[in-house]
Amino acid sequence: MINKKDFVELEFTAKIKGGEIFDTNKKEDAEKLDIKEVKPLIVSVGSNMVIPGLDKALEEKEIGKQYTEEFNPEQAFGKRNPALIRMIPIKVFLEQKIYPQAGMQLSLDGMLVKVASVSGGRVLVDFNNPLSGKTVVYDYTIKKKIDDLNEKINSLQDFLFQRRFEFTTNETEKTIIFKVPGQMVQMIPLIGKNFEDILGMKITAEAIKEEKKEKTKEIKEEKTAEKINSN
């Protein structure tokens, strides 16, 4: 039986109720969507790493059993918010060489938005999540429970950093030290509370030594010089 804060590997397919699949890591469903590669999804139950309804539903489930559950907008991607539909001057798009058309989806200020209409010099843009207001259905199986600490840390890296850094751990002192580029040292502790809440471990960051980069740079410069001289 699965409990809150357990790490589990999920295999799932998610679709709009009565409609199309919008996310999956099942090979057979991924092939239908022409997705070339699928990866295991590892999440900490009750830690907001999936939609609220699924996050709660995972508790007290059994490993290896297939489930199908429906989640209303409040349990999924939220209700549509009229305040997130805004009129924007078309010049904002044209300056970025974007020529908006009704129905177009694009990234604006790091958000996925949909163009509702284009009229004269103005564009009506919907900043709501494309899945807001939708009832969704998840078919899922908990493949296994994850006990390995490194796997847990990497799953949190995938979720919080969208990339992976090297790290060392001290389970006695309950600490994790990430090795990151110098400019990111200050950023890592800002998300430390997430690791502490979920894993009960504090995180710190250690800057990667720049000497390696300088040495690599010197080698590249030497090779370039050799090529120039040989010509």
At residue 136, the pLDDT reads 98
What does the pLDDT read at residue 51? 98
β partners of residue 141: 11, 66
Instruction: Give the pLDDT score at 168.
Output: 96
- Residue of 187, 177, 169, 181 whose CA lies nearest to 209: 181
Q: Mean pLDDT, consecutive 10-residue segments, the chain of 231 residues?
A: 96 96 94 88 96 97 97 97 94 91 86 90 94 97 97 95 93 93 86 89 87 50 48 44
Which residues does residue 205 pair with via DSSP β-bridges, in sequence order? 178
> Is the pTM value of this prediction over 0.75?
yes
Report DSSP state, residue 171.
T
Residue 220: per-residue pLDDT: 54
For 199-220, give the DSSP string.
HS-EEEEEEPPTHHHHHHHHHH
DSSP 104-170: -EEEETTEEEEEEEEETTEEEEE-S-TTTT--EEEEEEEEEEE--HHHHHHHHHHHHTSS--EEEEE
The two tokens of residue 192 are 């430390």
Question: Residue 162's pLDDT is what?
Answer: 87
203 CB-contact burial (10 Å; exposed 0-12 / middle 13-18 / buried 19+): buried
pLDDT for position 230: 47
Structural domains of the chain, with CATH: 1-77+134-147 (3.10.50.40), 82-126 (2.40.10.330), 148-215 (3.30.300)
Residue 229 pLDDT: 44
pLDDT for res 64? 97
Quick check: 145 and 7 in contact, CB under 8 A?
yes
Burial 189-201 (b: 16+ CB within 10 A, else e): eeebebbeebbeb
